[in-house]
Amino acid sequence: MSKQKRLLAVHDVSCFGRCSLTVALPIISATGIETVVLPTAILSTHTGGFTGYTYRDLTDDIVPIIKHWEELNIKFDAVYSGFLGSFEQIDIVSQIFKKFKAEGSIIAVDPVMADNGELYKIFDENFPKGMVSLCQLADVIMPNITEASLMLSGQYKEGPYTKEYIRELLIKLSQLGPKKVVLTGVYFDERDLGAASFDALTQEFSFARANRISGYYHGTGDVFGSALVAALVKNKKLSKAVEIAVDFTVGSIKRTYESQTDIRFGVNFEEGLGDLLNACNSNN
């Protein structure tokens, strides 16, 4: 039997509303990967649609945690970072990549900072430059189109997009350093929505799409990213990992839409975990 892989997930914790670590931990663990967590902040709920939520920055706790891990000589087969609340956390996570990366491990960055053409209000205009420095250390990154535009210092363009435009973004992002790039929120008409990828080592582009489901569902980026990283750690090629992640995310949205659950509560990914495990373990 092969040795179990170990992954470190560096995200915030929203205690209610499925996103970030409360999504990454169960999804990645369900595929058979040991999942270690490093919370960057803790919130009573996520910030999408809720008011009056509590927020505690955990930056001061991160350094003592990683010092203890260094004493234990812990290494990770993958490190997956998401929401980081400050430049200081970007610097700390950069050090984590260097300290705990094992030979052949995967460094994955979701540069969470913007959507729908706008930088999140908690960040200043210099924050994308900090995210660029983190992405330069990564093997795979997964920005949405807004985040990609900010990191490339370009103007955000609303869709529908052309394949030529998406390919251009993917190539430019790969030139920052990561050899595998995934773009989310890609669509070529109003009926479909999905993701595109580029593997700079093989020069392969891929597109994975599904029928658009009406509504905005919080946390789906974390659902997609967690499934994607899990599939990559399970040795799926990039195009297949993107396909698995799109199918899993769309299934989660579809179950939520059909049950008419309050969309602020996140999507029902739990009932699709068996399918994700099968997809990650299949020989296809």
pLDDT tens-digit series, residues 102-159: 889 999 999 999 999 999 988 999 999 999 999 999 999 999 999 999 999 989 999 9
**Is there a domain that residue 51 lies in?**
yes
Task: Indicate whether 95 belongs to any domain.
Answer: yes
Give mean pLDDT, residues 34-43: 97
Say if 209 falls within a structural domain: yes
Q: What's the average model confidence in pLDDT over 254-268?
A: 95
Q: What percent of the chain has pLDDT over 70?
A: 100
pLDDT of residue 262: 92
- Tell me whether residue 282 is in a domain: no
Write down the pLDDT at residue 20: 96
How far apart CA 115 and CA 102 sit, in angstroms, is 33
1, pLDDT greater than 80: no
Residue 283 pLDDT exceeds 90: no
Above 80 in pLDDT, residue 239?
yes
Asked whether residue 49 is assigned to any structural domain, the reply reads: yes
Residues 196-213: tens digit of each pLDDT? 999 999 999 999 999 999
Sheet holding 192-199, edge to edge: 55-57, 34-45, 6-16, 76-81, 101-109, 140-141, 180-186, 192-199, 204-211
Q: What share of the chain is helix, strand, coil (3-state, %, to 5)?
A: 40, 25, 35
Residue scoring higher pLDDT (85 or 167): 167
In a domain, 103, yes or no: yes
Question: What's the whole-number mean pLDDT along residues 29-52?
Answer: 95
The overall pTM is greater than 0.85:
yes
State the CB neighbour count (10 A cutoff) for residue 167.
15
Burial of 70 (0-12, 13-18, 19+ CB in 10 A): exposed
Residue 284's pLDDT is 79
Residue 184 sits in a domain whose CATH number is 3.40.1190.20
Domain span holding position 237: 6-276
Q: How many structural domains compose the chain?
A: 1
Closest CA to 10 of 97, 69, 72, 131: 97
pLDDT of residue 114: 94
Question: Does any domain span residue 70?
Answer: yes
H-assigned helices in the chain: 21-30, 59-71, 87-100, 127-135, 145-151, 163-174, 220-233, 238-259, 273-281
Predicted pLDDT at 241: 98
| Domain assignment present for 284 | no
